[in-house]
């Protein structure tokens, strides 16, 4: 899952980004309206955390622009204001959900997961392939009842491949969906990650599944 955090409080933005990366999400950060809008338009995010009061371009305007551009990313609007009018205004602009500050981090993670499952195409809360079970809500994976100790990138690759339901997935798509904006487009990280999954004893029966990834 790839998430964009648009928040002008640098300390808060970094804290949220670090926490979400621990939850096995790929996270980009923008600290003002113009850079946030540019990233949101140029990249394919599953969820966009959008602070309403941003310098440069107000969060309301960004939300309107994303809706007009047909952005696939679901928008979770963040604000210090918590009145009913603010909630109605934010949802009326096209935001998919609304969370007032301060918020509990587990609640934020749960909201992001719920929004990601409403993305296009929708991602089911649990993905299965034989004995492999990937819980996209809890960010956990099991194989034959055994918990898999996966890196965030390994988990992300499995999530994207299972979501594809047999459609061939390119290295470029995996790089876009699982890595963040700082990933080198010429890196062999995707190939290495898939190779680790292919070579893992637990995945010996997944050759049919992994063949849908093309180097």
The string of pLDDT tens digits covering residues 96-119 is 888 888 889 999 999 998 888 776
Burial 4-17 (b: 16+ CB within 10 A, else e): bbbbbeeeebeebb
**Are the C-beta atoms of 156 and 24 separated by less than 8 Å?**
yes
Hey, do 2-116 and 126-214 end up sharing a CATH topology, with the first three levels equal? Answer: no
Quote the mean pLDDT of the chain. 80
Q: Check pLDDT > 70 for residue 81.
A: no
CATH code reported for the domain at 2-116: 3.40.50.2300
Q: Hey, where are the domains in the chain?
A: 2-116, 126-214
Provide the 10 A C-beta neighbour count for residue 126: 12
Q: Check pLDDT > 80 for residue 206.
A: no
Candidates 32, 28, 19, 6; CA nearest to 177 is 28
Q: In what helix (H) or strand (E) does residue 169 lie, and over which residues does it extend? A: strand 169-170
Looking at residue 117, what is its pLDDT?
Answer: 74
The CA-to-CA distance between both ends of the chain, in Å, stands at 21
CA dist 61 and 25 (Å) reads 26
**Interacting residues of 42 by C-beta distance below 8 A, sequence separation 6+:** none
The string of pLDDT tens digits covering residues 23-78 is 888 899 999 999 999 999 988 898 999 998 899 999 989 998 988 887 888 999 98
For the domain with range 126-214, which CATH number is right: 1.10.10.10, 1.10.645.10, 3.50.50.60, 1.10.150.120?
A: 1.10.10.10
Looking at residue 208, what is its pLDDT?
Answer: 44
Q: Name the phi and psi angles at 91, rounded to 5.
A: -70, -30
């Amino acid at each position: 899952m790839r998430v964009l955090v648009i928040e002008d409080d640098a300390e808060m933005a970094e804290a949220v980004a670090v926490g979400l990366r621990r939850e096995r999400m790929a996270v980009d950060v923008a600290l003002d309206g113009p850079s946030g809008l540019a990233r949101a338009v140029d990249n394919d995010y599953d969820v966009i955390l959008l602070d309403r009061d941003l310098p440069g371009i107000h969060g309301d305007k960004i939300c309107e622009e994303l809706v007009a551009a047909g952005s696939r990313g679901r928008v979770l609007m963040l604000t210090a204001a918590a009145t009913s009018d603010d909630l109605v205004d934010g949802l009326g602009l096209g935001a998919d959900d609304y969370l007032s500050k301060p918020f509990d981090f587990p609640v934020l993670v749960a909201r992001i997961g719920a929004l990601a499952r409403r993305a296009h195409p929708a991602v089911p809360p649990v993905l299965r392939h034989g004995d492999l079970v990937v819980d996209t809500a809890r960010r956990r994976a099991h194989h034959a009842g055994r918990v898999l100790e996966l890196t965030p990138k390994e988990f992300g690759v499995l999530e994207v491949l299972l979501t594809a339901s047999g459609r061939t997935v390119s290295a470029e798509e995996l790089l876009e969906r699982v890595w963040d904006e700082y990933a080198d487009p010429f890196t062999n990280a995707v190939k290495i990650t898939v190779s680790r999954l292919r070579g893992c004893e637990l995945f010996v029966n997944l050759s049919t599944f992994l063949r849908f990834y093309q180097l």
